Amino acid sequence: MGDVNQSRRTFLKSLAIIAGASMVVGLLRGLEVLVPPSVGLTSFPTLQLVDENGNPIKASDVPVNGQKMAMFNYPLSNEPNYLLNLGNDSNQPVEIPATTVTIPATGKTYEFPGGVGPNKSIVAYSAICEHLGCTYPELTFYPPGVKALTFNGPMDKVIHCSCHGSTYDPYRGAAVVTGPTTKPLPTVQLKWDPSTDYLYAVTMIGPTIYGHTDDLSGGSPISGNSTSVAMLSNPALG
Amino acid sequence: MGMAKRSIGDWLADVFHLRDIPFMGVPSYMFSIEYWLGGVASAALIWQALTGLLMLLYYQPSDAYNSTMAIIHSIPFGAILSSSHLYGAYVMILAVYIHGLHVYFKGAYKRPRQFQWVLGVLMFTMVMITSFVGYSMTGDVLGVDAVDVGKGILAGLHLSALTPIFFGNGTDLDLFTRLLGWHVILAALIALLFALHFYLAEQNGFMPDLKEAKYKAPALLDKSDQRIKPWWPRNFVFMLGIIAMTWGVILTIPSILAIPQVLDKIPILFSPFPGPSPTSPQASLVPAYPPWFFLFMYKMADMPFPLAVDVSMGGLIPVVVLLIVPFVDRSEDLHPLDRPFLTALFITGLTWLVELSIWGAGQPGIPVKPLWLLLVIVPPFVISFAGIYALHFVWRGVKQRIINKAVSNSKPLPLNNKLLTAMGALVTAMAVIIMLLSFTLNPVTQAPFIGLSWGSLMLLFAADVFIYFNYELR
């Protein structure tokens, strides 16, 4: 043991500690292996609305006042939206005017472009509640005369979520009517081709779709250049 | 002021009560790889658990092949993850073989360590099966072939009733879901048996130097031996060195093989990545190889016997023989030449294993004619037995003289102090440079080079630990 010198010993020990620290630091970035590759799109696609057989949907085919809930995914396959043809109390389509919508959470506003179609009565909104992500069948449109129990009392002609009671006004850009939500439902901007009566989804407006860091990531893209519309029964109608 | 200077090590030891860990300390001569072969296998087991759990985040039984390839091509560092999991298994299998042979030749399976040996044999068979299952999980052409062979073997043993239990109801989804499930279950069982094996190893103690034990069982370390120093910190630091060395090898080899210019020249048996998909046209060009550690069994299946006989001779009988070794050989003789029959049998078996493996790689699936069989099987048998018995008689003549010679405390010549310090400084400088350079590399496109950097960092750290020990142990 005689020739072990304390300072040389400390030096060798420090060398091992530095090499060990280099090893740990070098390997730390390996934690990135936990991050899954992101899926999604780089820009908003223009997708034609078609039925489940792939035939184009005409604006005149969209049921008025949610007698059926017409649902389609856009821009990603896990981002469902409602296609609504809004009407008055006698179920005649009414024009939905452009308006400015406020996001209560941030105080910011954005321009809602209004309805499309022959009567300018067709709108589309995200079908994922901005409060905590409930979707069909909890989140649905209450047609005229069918009252949802909201925090402001019984209301019809609203989109209401039965999970936690959030209420949106689809006639005014799905603006917040009652909480607990602090954000309106994002709008799908639609385009209507008057010569064919076909409908297209063009882009999203408003807050980010619930559960996504941005509208274009966090889900698989929809293949092809159309998205199919499913006609589901409206749970508000029992 | 006035406070005694305490090192970080002392602080750690206080906070985590490291000095109270009930692990055994060892005399200095045991800080040599020979006494840490089980440690190498354990380090590989830990690597397998870590990388396997990470891959569990990505592997999809519903899309086995594509999700495996996605791990390699799209996940940051994914190529390193999957290739080092494969080579971790290879290193573990080799380490288990070497550990087992070393234990055999030292007679360490004898009392009081019989059940350590039995657990070891059980873990060995489970490691082989787990590796087989893991290899099939990629869903490449080799993996799918391996599953078909597995089903054939069960049928050959009249155990077809077990096929749905291991391989599912016939759908791909059920197959890969079960392979994943069994892989994890078997790995967990290995970890459980390992815990027991390790506990027994701690209680029975390291197998001491045979000369000190006078070649007689039971060979035990005297716990009051003055040369024994506490487990903390020496054994702990040496263990870190062994782990870093093992992980370094596990990372370095497949990373070198994965460098594109090298990858082209690697035979499919040693490729760090899965083979082609079974539905791709290239699949027809690949011989239906099993993983290399089952090549011997592949050649057994070419033998002129029914499959049940092939499998029994190639797998079941050897495992049973291994399991009963400590109960058949109850003598107190530790020297392999005092146990000539078993030693000759082990050497014969090992030679057959190597012969059949190489033969299986060279002539996959070509039926064996009885004459060839005799030419391959008989000579190793005759040479081993004749040679070992001859050595046995020579050994008996000189044994007493060797045993009675005083145990010379011969140590490897310590290296020159300045040389040792210079080596340490060089190793550390290289580690720092490699660490810095590794940050310039892209985790997806330059994965092999990052794997190589990480492997080098581990090997360099291990080198520094061993350099320190070379000095410390004087």
The predicted structure's pLDDT at residue B406: 62
Cα separation, B387 vs B379, whole angstroms: 12
Cα separation, A94 vs A84, whole angstroms: 11
Q: Per the domain annotation, does B124 fall within a domain?
A: yes
The predicted structure's pLDDT at residue B217: 83
Residue B178: pLDDT band with limits 50, 70, 90: very high
Does any CB of chain A come closer than 8 Å to the CB of residue B431? yes
Domain count, chain B: 1
pLDDT tens digit string along B139-154? 999 898 889 888 888 8
Instruction: State which residue of chain B sits closest to A33, comparing Cα positions.
Output: B76
Q: Mind telling me how many Å the CA of A25 is from chain B's nearest CA?
A: 7
Does any CB of chain A come closer than 8 Å to the CB of residue B338? no
Does any CB of chain A come closer than 8 Å to the CB of residue B469? no
Range of the domain at A215: 47-237
pLDDT at B127 over 60: yes
Nearest by CB: A27 against B54, B432, B454: B454
Mean pLDDT of A192-202: 92
Q: Per the domain annotation, does A9 fall within a domain?
A: no
pLDDT at B4 over 60: no
Chain B residue numbers touching A38 (CB-CB < 8 A): none
DSSP, collapsed to helix, strand or coil, labels residue B31 as coil
Nearest by CB: A20 against B57, B438, B461: B461
Choose the mutation target among A17, A33, A220 for the interface with B, i.e. most B CBs under 10 Å.
A33
Burial label, B306 (beta-carbon count in 10 A; 0-12, 13-18, 19+): exposed
Question: Half-sphere exposure of A198 toward its Cβ, with a 13 Å CA cutoff?
Answer: 17
Q: Per the domain annotation, does A93 fall within a domain?
A: yes
Subunit contact A22:B58, Cβ cutoff 8 A: no
Subunit contact B461:A26, Cβ cutoff 8 A: no
The predicted structure's pLDDT at residue B411: 60
Subunit contact A20:B424, Cβ cutoff 8 A: no
Does any CB of chain B come closer than 8 Å to the CB of residue A31? no
pLDDT tens digit string along B303-345? 888 888 888 898 899 999 999 999 999 999 999 999 999 999 9
Mean pLDDT of A162-170: 92
Subunit contact B458:A34, Cβ cutoff 8 A: no
Q: Which contiguous run of DSSP H or E holds residue B420?
A: helix B417-438
Chain A residue numbers touching B50 (CB-CB < 8 A): none
pLDDT at A237 over 70: yes
pLDDT tens digit string along A204-228? 999 999 999 899 988 899 988 999 9
Mean pLDDT of B377-381: 94
pLDDT at B466 over 60: yes
Domain count, chain A: 1
Residue B1: pLDDT band with limits 50, 70, 90: very low
Range of the domain at B276: 28-217+259-403
pLDDT tens digit string along A129-162? 999 999 989 999 999 988 888 898 898 999 999 9
Count of residues in chain A? 238
Nearest by CB: B421 against A2, A8, A23: A8
Q: Per the domain annotation, does B7 fall within a domain?
A: no
Q: The domain spanning residue B320 has which CATH number?
A: 1.20.810.10
Contact indicator for A196, A188 with CB cutoff of 8 Å:
no
Higher pLDDT, B286 or B116: B116
Share of chain B above pLDDT 90, in %: 63
Mean pLDDT of A35-50: 89
Does any CB of chain A come closer than 8 Å to the CB of residue B435? yes
Choose the mutation target among A15, A17, A24 for the interface with B, i.e. most B CBs under 10 Å.
A15
Q: Per the domain annotation, does B199 fall within a domain?
A: yes
Q: Per the domain annotation, does A21 fall within a domain?
A: no
Q: Mind telling me how many Å the CA of B377 is from chain A's nearest CA?
A: 48
Question: What letter does residue B162 receive in the DSSP assignment?
Answer: G
Among B residues 361-420, those touching chain A with beta carbons less than 8 Å apart: 417, 420
Mean pLDDT of B394-402: 88
Q: The domain spanning residue A187 has which CATH number?
A: 2.102.10.10
Query: Which of the residue ranges A98-102, A174-178, B83-87, B334-338 has the most confident prediction, judged by mean pLDDT?
Result: B83-87
Subunit contact A33:B244, Cβ cutoff 8 A: no
The predicted structure's pLDDT at residue A224: 87
Choose the mutation target among A6, A18, A28 for the interface with B, i.e. most B CBs under 10 Å.
A18
Instruction: State which residue of chain B sits closest to A16, comparing Cα positions.
Output: B464
Say which amino acid occupies B449. F
User: Tokens standing for B189?
Assistant: 């069982």
How many Å is the maximal CA-CA distance in chain A? 104
Q: Per the domain annotation, does A191 fall within a domain?
A: yes
Mean pLDDT, all residues of chain A:
90
Contacts with B419 (C-beta within 8 Å, 6 or more apart), sequence order:
none
pLDDT at B408 over 80: no
The predicted structure's pLDDT at residue B407: 60
Mean pLDDT, all residues of chain B:
91
Cα separation, B7 vs B12, whole angstroms: 9
Subunit contact A15:B471, Cβ cutoff 8 A: no
Place of tokens 């791709």: B280
DSSP, collapsed to helix, strand or coil, labels residue B131 as helix
Mean pLDDT of B70-75: 92
Choose the mutation target among A17, A22, A38, A39 for the interface with B, i.e. most B CBs under 10 Å.
A22
pLDDT tens digit string along B409-425? 556 666 788 888 999 99
Segment among A99-108, B24-33, B44-53 with least mean pLDDT = B24-33
Contact indicator for B107, B335 with CB cutoff of 8 Å:
yes
**What interface predicted TM-score (ipTM) does this complex get?**
0.88
Instruction: State which residue of chain B sits closest to A6, comparing Cα positions.
Output: B472
Q: Per the domain annotation, does A167 fall within a domain?
A: yes
Burial label, B6 (beta-carbon count in 10 A; 0-12, 13-18, 19+): exposed
Say which amino acid occupies A154. P
Cα separation, B116 vs B217, whole angstroms: 15
